[in-house]
Chains A and B, each alone.
Chain A
Amino acid sequence: MRAFVWLAAFAPFLAHRLPLAHRGAAGFDFPAIAALDGEDLFWLAVVAVDGAWLIARRARLAAALPLLAWLAVALAAAARPDERTAKLRDGPREPGERALFSPIGFGPEESDWTLVMAPGVALPLPPSSRHWLGSDGQGRDLLARLLHGTRVSLGVGAAATAIALAVGLMVGLLCGTLRGAVDLVLMRVVEVLLCFPHLFLVLIVFAYLPHSRTTMILLLGLVGWTTTARLARGELLRLRDQEFVLAARSLGASPLRLALRHLLPNALAPVLVAATFSVAGAMLAEFALSWLGLGVAPPTPSLGRILAEGQPLIARAPFLSLAPGLLIFAVVTSFNAWGEALREATTPEFSASRQAAGGSAP
């Protein structure tokens, strides 16, 4: 799973339309690095933190990568972007002009016009030295799209889960500590949210809001907090009966202190475990939505969208559909495996009461 996150973070370096470094008449510049935006930097920051953690645990080999990330950030400040260098790949060059392109050489959203317009060339392009996994039906490099698509799917899944986690924990805490009427009402709200046809919500949201990743994240987050809430509440109700809580209460701790200091840290473990499964679920939901055409707007790649585009070509180029499918369940499987490992590490006893409180679906 770590591999996927790191690959996602470094996607803009592995597959970009613009060259990484370019020397022209005006001197050196780094177009691809200069084109990094806030989201790219966030991913790099995540990786930097992870790398730092690895260093702290003395994993020497991994130490180099976060350093590279920081180096990229520093270079970005000094670079001047130049759009015209995109044509450098196949077009005419001035004497002395050199360009260093990313390893894959193509961005995820641009068609390879040189090949597309060449007569006698059939789409999708088969794998070749120019396109390592071939292209999709529109002439866009498949490997680049898969890489960036994984990044988008992962990003959406993680962000949606983060929101779901935050909201769900809050609601679960409220229910678990305050109990009584608050608990009753909030649980009914949860039931209502789970029972009405979600397709309507999806349709309405995508009718009135722009088709962007933010919309997807908000939608998935606001629909998904219910599971976390029920789980958190179940945990809290279970923990309330433990001795340490009774002790704290008898010492006069306020409900807030009780919740934050005593209950939350202990309830967190199974909630976090469920969260990892949630990320997988959110990714699958985003996959399904993109497949229906309701996800992020093209040309932004996402694994579901790549699959949807590849489906009509399935007889001629089955790999176009298989690849995103394989990727999605590789990522989801790795998240599930991570979650399982986490669960076994944090819950040595698998008691019936916890299972009843969890109650996840077949």
Chain B
Amino acid sequence: MKVGLASAIGLGSAALVVALAAAARQGVGPSERTGDPSGHASFATVASFAGSDAGRRSLRGGSSEAPRHGGTMTQSVTASYGTLNNITRTKSGEELVCRTYLFPPLLDLDPDTFEIVPLVAASRPEISPDHRRYTWRIRPGIRWHRGLPDGSPVELSTADVEFSWRMIADTRSGAVKAKGALGPVESVKAVDRYTFVVETSAPYFRSELEFGYDFRIMPAHLCTQDPEAFGKDPLGRAPVGYGPYRFDEWKEGAYLSLVRNPEWFAPEKLPYWVDRVRIHFVPDVNQVPTLFERGELTLVAVNDCSRYEEMRKDAAWLERATFHEYYLPHVVFITWNGLHPAFADPRVRRAMTLLNPRDLVRDKIYRGHAQVVSGPWAVTARECDPSIAPLPFDPPAAAALLDEAGWQDHDGDGWRDKYGKALRFVLEYSQTTAPVFTVGLGWFQEQLKAAGVAMETRAVELNQLAAELGEHRYDAAMLGWVADPRDDDVYDRFHSDAIDAGSNYGSYRSAECDRLVEAFRAEFDESARLKVAHAIHRRLAEDQPCTFLYNPQSLVLVSTKLRNVKLHAMGARWFDWWFAE
């Protein structure tokens, strides 16, 4: 019977496929650099293809072969998709598929410069002077993959927009994340077939980008109109979109298959040469390199930096794959619960950071494929002030701080204590965290032990972790966070309002930080806003509400069968790659 228990719960190690999940948060598409001839150079020749197979011409520089349609891009994710209903979906894997392949957004981000680029929208919206009214225009001629039952095609229009807003706003449909992502939107009303107006309740500089990037559209002519039945609509299992790829097949628990849409409306911006996309559901992350080796996957992310380094030196691997690295705005950090008697004191939190051997982990575990950060942003982000250096690894200074804060070993048992209570706490992290992050915790634990602080680490189920964080019933937790690639607003994480209603898990309260965050949100001028961001960075580095650990690199292997492979600042966006013969 115990063997039954053992085998029944012999779960394979499921690590977080951060790279693909994080890549999902990013957008689609290259820039339409209006009026910039140099930017057009790469696309001038592509424009002549206009989405058809006619004509073959070689492209500049990058590859001597001509692009061609064909091939299947195979990737993998750890968790099965729940639903591909664009409005009720919740997982980041689903977001990748929907936003990139099936339902491209109104506004997109240039994968290199992160500039705003209109995609489904004909142009950027008109904004009223009080920043509360946004007038959007949809590009005409975008067709849904499936039209009316009699076969006639249906264009994307404001009817779909209004229908989608109705579903998002209605709490009965379960479109929780869709609503949350839109921020202070009050109403969405159509003016004519292609124009609609969005009203927000408060001026917010991100409203345009948030709406443009996160507003989710579903076909009004095919979906059920009843909000309660909307979540169960069969379109969630067989989605109909308007993007570069059409739904082909979804084999439950096995894979999702998409096929190229020949009527894709923006082939000059996003050519998408690859004919088919197949995403496999592989729960055991350790299998992914094996599958790549067998040729069953063509684009994978690797978690183990040392393995990556070894593959790079292996002739067999060099034949199969090209290696790419890039930084996502993904930051791993430890959040300290401000309600804990020790962590309410910023000196103790600072001492914790001083005792964390971050440089050692970066060198030995990440092999240099990560940066130590001092704030909630990646080192490459514009919001990050590069002059603020991370705290060094300094146990004597930490000991001095702890002594100063009153935590000393009064009773001689080897542990620091204050008012009779020893300084011990439990650091929790999600069970799905990749092992690469937890080795550093072991060293941290030993350093703390040498300094007289008892830390216990615990891998906790995600459900439980979420519950405890929400109720502020924990000591310390190690989490990861993927910031927005541009204009990342930390209101939800460090403003005192967010303690009850947001993600301010550490109950961090600082009047100055609140003031700065509010100033950030109200500032419409970009350079002034960045200055405020730097000030926020400085305040957070001073107060250490979290110990910001690393900004890890994403390590990607791409099959050598693909041509014109180049990675953008935003990651492995492969709209301009193609398969060789």
Contact = CB atoms under 8 A, between A and B. Distances in A.
A–B interface present (Cβ within 8 A): yes
Interface of A: 83, 110-111, 116-117, 119, 122-123, 137-138, 194, 198-199, 202-203, 207, 211, 220, 223-224, 226-227, 278, 281-282, 284-285, 287-289, 291-294, 297-299, 308-309, 311-316, 361
Interface in B4-23: 4-11, 13, 15
Given A211-B458, A285-B2, A316-B306, A123 B365 contact: yes
B364 A312 contact: no
Given A198-B8, A292-B9, A298-B457, A284 B2 contact: yes
A278 B8 CA distance: 17
Contacts of B13: 308, 311-312
B471 interface: no
A294 B11 CA distance: 11
A312 B9 CA distance: 19
Contact of B459 (A278, A285, A293): A293
Given A198-B8, A203-B461, A281-B3, A316 B365 contact: no
B500 interface: no
B442 A298 contact: yes
29 contacts: A119-B363, A122-B306, A123-B306, A137-B435, A138-B439, A138-B442, A203-B461, A226-B1, A227-B2, A278-B2, A281-B1, A282-B2, A284-B6, A285-B3, A285-B5, A288-B9, A288-B10, A292-B431, A298-B445, A308-B435, A312-B13, A312-B286, A312-B304, A312-B436, A313-B306, A314-B286, A315-B304, A315-B307, A316-B307
Given A123-B364, A123-B365, A207-B464, A312 B6 contact: no
B442 A313 contact: no
A198 B303 contact: no
A278 to B, nearest CB: 7
Contacts of A119: 363
Contacts of A198: 5, 8-9
B443 A138 contact: yes
A313 B304 contact: yes
A346 to B, nearest CB: 22
Nearest to A201: B5
A105 to B, nearest CB: 17
A207 B474 CA distance: 12
A313 B303 CA distance: 11
Contacts of B11: 291-292
A315 B285 CA distance: 13
Contacts of A313: 304, 306-307
B443 A111 contact: yes
Nearest to A289: B9
Contacts, number: 108
Contacts of A311: 13, 286, 435
Nearest to A360: B1
Given A137-B365, A291-B10, A314-B286, 5 more contacts: A137-B439, A223-B5, A288-B5, A288-B9, A315-B304
A202 B457 CA distance: 18
Contacts of A111: 442-443, 446
Contacts of A361: 1, 3-4
Contacts of B6: 281, 284-285, 287-288
Contact of A299 (B4, B307, B442): B442
A199 B4 CA distance: 11
B522 interface: no
Contacts of A281: 1-3, 6
B44 interface: no
Q: Which of A83, A137, A278 has the most CB of B within 10 A?
A: A137
B120 to A, nearest CB: 41
Contact of A194 (B1, B289, B306, B460): B1
Q: In terms of DSSP, what is the predominant structure of the interface of chain A?
A: helix
Nearest to A207: B464
B364 A116 contact: yes
Interface in B211-226: none
A297 B439 CA distance: 14
A83 B360 CA distance: 25
Nearest to B442: A138
B435 A224 contact: no
Contact of B458 (A123, A289, A292, A297): A297
Contacts of A220: 2
Contacts of B2: 220, 223-224, 227, 278, 281-282, 284-285
Contacts of B286: 311-312, 314
Q: Which of B6, B8, B286, B445 has the most CB of A within 10 A?
A: B6
A313 B364 CA distance: 14
Contacts of B360: 116-117
B436 A315 contact: no
Interface string B452-470: 0000111111001000000
Nearest to A164: B2
Query: Across chains A and B, which 5 residue pairs bring their CB atoms closest together, nearest first?
Result: A281-B2, A293-B459, A288-B6, A312-B435, A285-B2
B8 A227 contact: no
Nearest to A113: B446
B414 A83 contact: yes
Nearest to B445: A299
Contacts of A284: 2-3, 6
Contact of A297 (B10, B289, B431, B456): B456
B310 interface: yes
B306 A224 contact: no
B8 A203 contact: no
Q: Which of A138, A194, A311 has the most CB of B within 10 A?
A: A138
B414 A203 contact: no
Contacts of A287: 6
Interface in B263-321: 286, 289, 303-304, 306-307, 310
Given A138-B443, A285-B2, A316 B431 contact: no
A316 B1 contact: no
Contacts of A289: 9
Contacts of A309: 435
A40 B222 CA distance: 70
B393 to A, nearest CB: 10
A231 to B, nearest CB: 11
Contacts of A226: 1
A260 to B, nearest CB: 27
Contacts of B436: 312
A298 B436 CA distance: 15
A305 B464 CA distance: 21
Contacts of A282: 2
Contacts of B363: 119
Given A111-B443, A220-B2, A315 B459 contact: no
A223 B6 CA distance: 12
Contacts of B306: 122-123, 313, 316
A223 B3 CA distance: 12
B456 A211 contact: yes
A292 B365 CA distance: 22
A117 to B, nearest CB: 7
A293 B429 CA distance: 11
B310 A316 contact: yes
Nearest to B12: A311
A284 to B, nearest CB: 4
Given A110-B446, A138-B442, A202 B9 contact: yes
A313 B458 CA distance: 21
Contacts of B15: 312
Given A138-B439, A289-B9, A293-B431, A227 B459 contact: no
B290 to A, nearest CB: 9
A284 B436 CA distance: 26
Nearest to B435: A312
A230 to B, nearest CB: 10
A284 B457 CA distance: 23
Q: Which of B306, B310, B443 has the most CB of A within 10 A?
A: B306
A361 B8 CA distance: 14
Contacts of A138: 439, 442-443
Contacts of B9: 198-199, 202, 288-289, 292
